[in-house]
Amino acid sequence: MAFVVLLSFSARAQSPDDITGLWWNAEKTAKIEVYKEKGKYFGKIVHLVEPNENGKPKVDKENPDAKLKNRKLDGLVILEDLEYDEDNEYEDGKIYDPKSGKTYSANAELNGDKLDLRGYIGISLIGRTSTWERVK
């Protein structure tokens, strides 16, 4: 009996790498590929529903660094350095918002085909959560 209970628990257990793959952002305007590199998780824009603006590829025009304002959004790494913390949560990352040009601290929690990303400044209680959905 204990073996059956243990087996059913392990079947539901989540792997840290379950976060990897393709995700729609909350607005479903972009697909982000989450991948693992050197033990941490990153995410980059790999598809924009509307890739062009005024006939040209969309760029990072809101970036406060003038040198970065002309970089393309397609291919841009917006999620960096997330670490898995053994509680099915990811923490100590950073997330960049191309709409505002701001970078926030980030934590994430994986719930099946939904990824709840919390961006914040200072403490996570003061922030905003955005839910991404896995691309099917």
Our count of domains for the chain comes to 1
In this structure, the dihedral spanned by the alpha carbons of residues 105, 38, 132 and 31, taken in order and rounded to 10 degrees, is: 120
Residue 126 CA to residue 124 CA, distance in Å, equals: 5
Point out which residues pair with 117 in neighbouring strands.
108, 130
Q: Which domain holds residue 105?
A: 2-134
Containing H/E element for 2?
Answer: helix 2-12
Q: Is 130 exposed, middle or buried (0-12, 13-18, 19+ CB in 10 A)?
A: middle
At 20, which CATH number?
A: 2.40.128.520
10-residue mean pLDDT series, the chain (136 residues): 39 78 97 98 98 97 97 98 91 96 96 96 88 97
Q: pTM here?
A: 0.87
